[in-house]
């Protein structure tokens, strides 16, 4: 899908307002409008430049991270990268990495990960993220919290003023047992922010979406800023039956944003 140019102009402004430093604007100079997928690929390829031979790499999940996994596989195949160990953040990425020929392991054998590269659903000005709209938040959080560096890669549509600000889902992984009870409790926690809590289901049959860990996802939608993220996180995690939530607070060490006018890179 091609995104109209005006979108990029306003989003570029948003990038700058969010404190992202303009990287190499000319590198993307193109006479035509780039698709969102091309921007994802540009961010992903930039992130893979940080990968060195011998590294243990957290392999993210989603349509942006997919490009990074493909690129790592390609560089391995060309002999430009050697001795990489990939730690996949989902079953889907596990399959993709195998098909790309990336040797895989897990956190039990490699508890310290050199670098993870993954996408996000939202990025706030402080590099906090919402993740998990693809349902992979738990494994992503386990692996990305074990990383020395975590590079988040996004196209500029993911930039928000505050988490939840896109009006789209903030996922919470819950055990299936009495999920309605958990959904009600989650909603009540954020009454002041006009929270709506919905079980994630497949539109075609109404069946619950089941995560790689056999849990359900309750998607929270906010009408207002939820305020202090650490307080929100602690409050959610204190509820019995909650496995984890999609707020990744203070975890990304670098955010790479690809936009029509260039790549912006922000480091911690």
Count of residues touching ligand R5P (by CB under 6 A): 18
Active site residue 207: no
Both structure tokens of 55: 């590294």
Using CB under 6 A, which of the segments 27-35, 55-63, 92-100, 198-206 binds ligand R5P? 55-63
Cα separation, 228 vs 210, whole angstroms: 29
Which one of 14, 15, 44, 64 is in contact with ligand R5P (CB under 6 A)? 64
Cβ closest to ligand R5P, residue 38 vs residue 140:
140
* Least spacing, CB of residue 115 vs ligand R5P, in Å: 16
Cα separation, 171 vs 193, whole angstroms: 16
* Alpha-carbon separation of residue 166 from 16, 69, 153, 159, 219 (angstroms): 18, 27, 17, 9, 13
Cβ closest to ligand R5P, residue 68 vs residue 189:
68
Cβ closest to ligand R5P, residue 18 vs residue 136:
136
The sheet carrying 216-221 orders its strands as 196-199, 216-221, 170-174, 242-245
Catalytic entry in 12, 38, 122, 140? 140
Using CB under 6 A, which of the segments 6-14, 73-81, 95-103, 118-126 binds ligand R5P? 118-126
What residues contact residue 27 under an 8 Å CB cut-off, 6+ apart?
A: 262, 263
By the criterion CB under 6 A, which residues form the site for ligand R5P? 60-65, 118-121, 131-137, 140
């Amino acid at each position: 899908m091609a995104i109209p140019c005006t979108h990029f102009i306003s989003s570029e402004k948003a990038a700058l307002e969010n404190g992202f430093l303009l990287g190499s604007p000319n590198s993307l100079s193109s006479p035509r409008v780039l698709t969102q997928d091309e921007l994802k690929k540009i961010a992903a390829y930039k992130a893979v430049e940080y990968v060195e031979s011998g590294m243990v790499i957290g392999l993210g999940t989603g349509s942006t991270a997919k490009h990074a996994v493909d690129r790592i596989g390609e560089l391995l195949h060309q002999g430009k990268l050697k001795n990489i160990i990939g730690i996949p953040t989902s079953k889907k990425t596990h399959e993709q990495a195998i098909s790309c020929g990336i040797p895989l392991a897990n956190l039990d054998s490699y508890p310290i990960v050199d670098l993870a590269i993954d996408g996000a659903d939202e990025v706030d000005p402080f590099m906090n993220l919402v993740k998990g709209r693809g349902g992979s938040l738990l494994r992503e959080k386990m692996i990305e919290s074990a990383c020395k560096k975590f590079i988040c890669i996004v196209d500029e549509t993911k930039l928000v003023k505050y988490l939840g600000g896109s009006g789209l889902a903030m996922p919470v992984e819950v055990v299936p047992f009495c999920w309605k009870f958990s959904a009600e409790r989650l909603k009540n926690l954020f009454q002041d922010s006009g929270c709506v809590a919905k079980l994630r289901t497949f539109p075609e049959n109404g069946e619950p979406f089941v995560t790689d860990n056999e849990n359900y996802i309750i998607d929270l939608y906010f009408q207002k800023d939820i305020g202090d993220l650490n307080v929100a996180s602690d409050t959610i995690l204190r509820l019995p039956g909650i496995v984890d939530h999609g707020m990744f607070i203070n975890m990304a060490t670098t955010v790479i944003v690809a936009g029509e006018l260039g790549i912006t890179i922000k480091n911690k």
